[in-house]
A = this chain, B = another copy of it.
Amino acid sequence: EAREVLDHGFVRVIDYMGDDSAIVQAARVSYGAGTKHVSNDEGLIRYLMRHWHSTPFEMCELKLHVKLPVFVARQWIRHRTANVNEYSARYSILDREFYIPQPEQLAAQSTVNNQGRGETLQGAEAERVLRLLKDDAGRAYDHYEEMLSQDGQQGLARELARMNLPANVYTQWYWKVDLHNLFHFLRLRADSHAQYEIRVYADAICEMVKDWVPAAYSAFEDYRMGGVNLSAKGV
């Protein structure tokens, strides 16, 4: 049940707490007997989402095991409202696994958006880029191993040797988050402004969340994802 992402990555559900009915249950404790007449759980969930009543969504929790390139991990970890345990490259030796983009993802710098991609690179340029990425990663890893080696030498400390590895090396972690903050993560990272390489993880998680809490996910999709923020002046 793990979903593969990028060339060596994955997202896997380890555990979860609650479901659509846990959101409703928490909302009903707030409103007491008063909500008895709302016959429809889905309607209540949509109401909560629309009115930014976010605390009932915090009653659900998801724990994932994720394998991802370090430069994606650096974006991901900025979401502070989560619990994380990452593989320690001080303690252990990283595997020889690097993210190398698919040819159709080898994009040029966007000419309109400083923080984005433009057209796909072609021909010799694309080939040269791929070769550089592969060669540098391979060589960096060879030297990583060489520095670590205790064969006829002392061997550099792991916490130092790892600094030779480029940002496309893979790491992994356990990541646990409540549903409200997961939606916040997905809104920002399944969005078109997010970098492709984190967006594919967000997309994979969207699929998992849709299975897990279908009513909440559908409300999220309608009111957050596709939503537009109009200014008072724009209205």
A residues engaging B (CB < 8 A)? Answer: 15-18, 22, 25-27, 29-34, 50-52, 55-56, 58-59, 61, 63, 65, 69-71, 73-74, 77-78, 80-81, 83-88, 90-93, 99, 101, 105-110, 114-119, 121-122, 125, 128-129, 132-133, 136-137, 139-140, 143, 146-148, 150, 153-160, 162-168, 172-174, 176, 178, 188, 193, 195, 221-223, 225-235
Contacts and interface: CB of A to CB of B under 8 A. Distances in A.
Q: What is the oligomeric copy number? A: 4
Among A59, A81, A87, A122, the one with the most B-chain Cβ atoms within 10 Å of its Cβ is A59
A145 B4 CA distance: 31
Contacts of A121: 153-154, 156
Contacts of A143: 132, 136
B34 A91 contact: yes
A128 B148 CA distance: 12
A157 B108 contact: yes
Contacts of A167: 70, 162-167
B132 A146 contact: yes
A29 B86 contact: yes
A119 to B, nearest CB: 7
A15 B139 CA distance: 43
12 contacts: A15-B22, A17-B63, A31-B88, A70-B167, A78-B84, A91-B114, A107-B157, A109-B157, A118-B154, A164-B168, A229-B229, A229-B230
Given A163-B71, A227-B235, A232-B221, A156 B63 contact: no
Contacts of A164: 132-133, 136-137, 166-168
Nearest to A159: B195
Contacts of A56: 85
